[in-house]
Structure 1
């Protein structure tokens, strides 16, 4: 960096509207200098999930984050779409032949599916509290109610269950107010988006984890839903060379609960 040049992490990222496959726009922001990293948030969230992580990453990386279809500032889908193809559209828009992918929950699932579909475009994976396509979730009253509220578009109940199940540390924990704001603003949008999201036939990453070639870091919080720890264990066991980390005092919204520790792990892992 030249003397007196601005710190790239302090420069506001450049926000753009990326054309989405089949119509609509994906809100995306880019900032920082270095090797490219794309951040993918979870269902019912938006790219604000990464607010506390981006400044640290941007000191060493070209950081791109975007709102998934229909969430945050991205336009609602009016026809079937693929989240894997949306990610490809973001990379293509920014002229990136390759990038590292950091995904939380649904974003981790998308990152995994993308790495299996386009392995030549992924330099590294960081899976944070990730889900994985093909995983059979156990039955429980809370998860049954959660699925029913999504299916029946009971958005007030959905928002309440999202906070109860996935943000169990509550509002007084770090990031609590922002988490509540994101959940409330995206509850209606997520059910519309999920109804249009198409999972292609044969998209089942769990039995194919051994095919992942990218260096992989698997992270989850010790206060997350217990099944996330089960999935994390499977990812570490089945992805060649994968390394696992459990972060204390973090639930599913880990990037807002313990951003400093997550940033430290990501900087050590990403190329």
Structure 2
């Protein structure tokens, strides 16, 4: 462990506000030294998703995490925005040429879309319980209710469904209290901000997976939504250089459920040589 002092050390966090494309700001935090790693959270969450992961990663890496537009400490949008362009703004702000990207759920989708749009800007990917643009989700009653709550802007119903569908292990499982707080605190901002999220019908990573030229780690929990397993199988089948790991005793909020096991996998993945170097 590095000793703590009153001055910033490699393990101390430095918080900044990154100007967002088109206006507004993105809250971001930087900690550690070494090769750069950028962490992207999922929909309805914020950068607290990575609270139990960052300290260990930052011992060997320059770790940046940020709150997506309209969530956590980032400002609400008042015009259309693109998560992929927001990610580029974060990388440019910190002067990162080829960081590793680690994304969960929506964050994984954003990371995958980014590497397809900017293949020279990414060293590797880690996709944790990731969604993929272009993937068609099957309909079921709970998913339909979830979509209805989002469409109607019902923050209370959306938060309850988020927890029942995606945090199925419940409050008594590791990370339960912070998951509940994070979901509840972000629900109203989520329904206010998501209508401004730009949609690109031609953004279809599912049909372009063979174009991804960087090493990819595909991780999901054994208690996650069944469709996440389907997506993980598709990623492993179609990505040219991918390794898959199923983590026991974890649902969609895997970084808070089993942080030690995720850190172990990430550290092994991040030490792989950069194929472009």
Tell me if both proteins adopt one fold, taking TM over 0.5 as the criterion: yes
1:41 is matched with which residue? Answer: 41
1:66 is matched with which residue? Answer: 66
Per the normalisation by structure 1, the TM-score is 0.96
1:159 is matched with which residue? Answer: 159
Determine whether 1:23 maps to 2:27. Answer: no
Q: Distance in 2 between matches of 1:11 and 1:218?
A: 27
Q: Distance in 1 between matches of 2:110 and 2:9?
A: 26
**8 Å CA contact retained: 2:11, 2:31:** yes
Structure 1 residues 131-182: Cα deviation after superposition (integer angstroms, max 9, x where no partner): 0000000110000000000000011010000000000000000000000000
Give how far 1:241 is off: 1.8
Q: Distance in 1 between matches of 2:48 and 2:10?
A: 17
Determine whether 1:127 maps to 2:127. Answer: yes
The SS at the match of 1:84 is helix
Q: Distance in 1 between matches of 2:12 and 2:167?
A: 28
Q: Distance in 1 between matches of 2:4 and 2:140?
A: 55
Per the normalisation by structure 2, the TM-score is 0.94
Structure 1 residues 6-44: Cα deviation after superposition (integer angstroms, max 9, x where no partner): 7x9873310000000000000000000100000000000
Give how far 1:200 is off: 2.5
Give how far 1:5 is off: 8.2
Q: Distance in 2 between matches of 1:229 and 1:73?
A: 31
Q: Distance in 1 between matches of 2:210 and 2:9?
A: 36
1:258 is matched with which residue? Answer: 258
**8 Å CA contact retained: 2:11, 2:59:** no
Q: Distance in 2 between matches of 1:188 and 1:5?
A: 37
**8 Å CA contact retained: 1:81, 1:198:** yes
Gaps of 5+ in 1: none
The SS at the match of 2:123 is strand
Gaps of 5+ in 2: 272-277
1:248 is matched with which residue? Answer: 248
Aligned length: 269
The SS at the match of 2:218 is strand
1:150 is matched with which residue? Answer: 150
**8 Å CA contact retained: 1:9, 1:58:** no
The SS at the match of 1:77 is coil
Alpha-carbon RMSD? 1.6
**8 Å CA contact retained: 1:10, 1:55:** no
Q: Distance in 1 between matches of 2:9 and 2:221?
A: 26
1:173 is matched with which residue? Answer: 173
- Judge which range, 11-20 or 87-96, deviates more: 11-20
Q: Name segments (4+ residues, structure 1) moved above 6 Å.
A: 3-6
The SS at the match of 2:102 is strand
Q: Distance in 1 between matches of 2:3 and 2:70?
A: 40
**8 Å CA contact retained: 1:9, 1:59:** no
Give how far 1:188 is off: 1.0
2:82 is matched with which residue? Answer: 82
Q: Distance in 2 between matches of 1:44 and 1:76?
A: 13
Q: Distance in 2 between matches of 1:112 and 1:269?
A: 17
2:212 is matched with which residue? Answer: 212
Q: Distance in 2 between matches of 1:200 and 1:33?
A: 36
